[in-house]
Amino acid sequence: MDQNNEPPKVVFGGDEFQRPRQSFQTPTPKIVQWVIKYSSGAVKDEKQANYVLLGFVLVAIIISLFLVFGGGKGGVRSLKSDLINRPQPQEGYIPR
């Protein structure tokens, strides 16, 4: 066991090569880069771009909920309203 917490060394034919340390920092996502690039200078860093994307998602969810649950007056009519509003036949009328 290594006492100094150094990464293990790999030996190839007498030469020592030290294994590079892994970086756990991820690169900036492409969509964030795109927002920064095409915002005409309004979005200056990654944090602002994330807020812009979050706002876009919230607006899209609100619009879709509006379209699904409350979009339009030409909705489904109920059978009860059809029976109430149907003209009644006159006396002596025999349906065919």
Write down the pLDDT at residue 24: 74
Predicted structure pTM score: 0.51
Write down the pLDDT at residue 26: 79
The C-alpha atoms of residue 8 and residue 17 are separated, in whole angstroms, by 9
Split at pLDDT 50, 70, 90, the class of 32 is: very high
| Range ranked top by mean pLDDT from 22-26, 36-40, 72-76, 87-91 | 36-40
- Name the residue with higher pLDDT: 67 or 53: 53
Residues 6+ positions from 89 with CB-CB distance below 8 Å: 95
Q: Give the start-to-end residue ranges of the domains of the chain.
A: 27-70
